[in-house]
Amino acid sequence: MVNCSKDLYIILRSLFGSAPYSVVGAKMGPVKVFVFFVFLTSTVLWSVYRAALTSKLVTQRAKMPFSSLEELLQSDYRYN
């Protein structure tokens, strides 16, 4: 567990540019690609969620007492 937390610490330092490259080296290359992929995927999913939520909240839905013109003619609805 100690080694895992040390590796995580090195990965986080390397992402923010504070670890020397010789410490990170080639063994952390796939991990950095994976972390970048996770960040990119989560950003895309969050953007899609926000766009869907915004489109649902922005559209106005009018409630009519009828659903077709025939129902309008048969009802006693009056516009005041």
How confident is the prediction for the chain on average, in pLDDT?
78
The pLDDT assigned to 12 comes to 75
pLDDT at residue number 48: 96
Taking only the tens place, the pLDDT of each residue in 2-36 is: 577 777 777 777 777 665 555 555 567 777 788 88
Residue 78: per-residue pLDDT: 72
One-letter amino acid of 47 = S
Contact 28, 10 (CB under 8 A): yes
Report the pLDDT averaged over residues 55-72. Answer: 82
Distances (CA, A) of 57 to 36, 51, 52, 54: 32, 10, 9, 5
Average pLDDT over residues 47-58: 93
Polymer length in residues for the chain: 80
Secondary structure element (H or E) that encloses residue 17, with its range: none
Residues 6+ apart with CB under 8 A from 28: 10, 11, 14
